[in-house]
Amino acid sequence: MKQQKIIRAGNSLAITLPSKIVRALGLKPKDTVSVSVQSDLGSITYHFDQPRQLTLTSNNLDSL
């Protein structure tokens, strides 16, 4: 699991996505994402609305 810093974006806070993940998922600006929060577990899950076709390589997303 990678750690990301929380940054200020105007009056909000944001978490950036590493470029390797952006490329692997084919994400683009203005793509939509659904966010699920489980505050009792301290967990946030992101679900990208457009289906993504990941290429098969020896690397997987866990190594990103």
Contacts of 2 (CB under 8 A, 6+ apart): 18, 64
User: What is the per-residue DSSP string for 1-41?
Assistant: -----EEEETTEEEEPPPHHHHHHHT--TT--EEEEEETTT
DSSP 8-state code for residue 58: S
Contact 46/34 with Cβ under 8 angstroms? Answer: yes
* Domain regions of the chain by residue span: 6-50
Report the pLDDT value the prediction gives residue 46, as an integer from 0 to 100. 86
Q: Please compute the mean of the pLDDT values over residues 56-61 and round it to a whole number.
A: 57
pLDDT digits 0-9 by tens, 12-55: 999 998 888 888 888 889 988 899 999 999 999 988 876 666 66
CATH topology for 6-50 is Pemi-like Protein 1; Chain: D (2.10.260)
Whole-structure pTM value: 0.61
How far is residue 55's CA from residue 63's CA, in Å, rounded to a whole number?
14
The more confident residue out of 8 and 3 is 8
pLDDT at residue 61 greater than cutoff 60: no
pLDDT digits 0-9 by tens, 13-22: 999 988 888 8
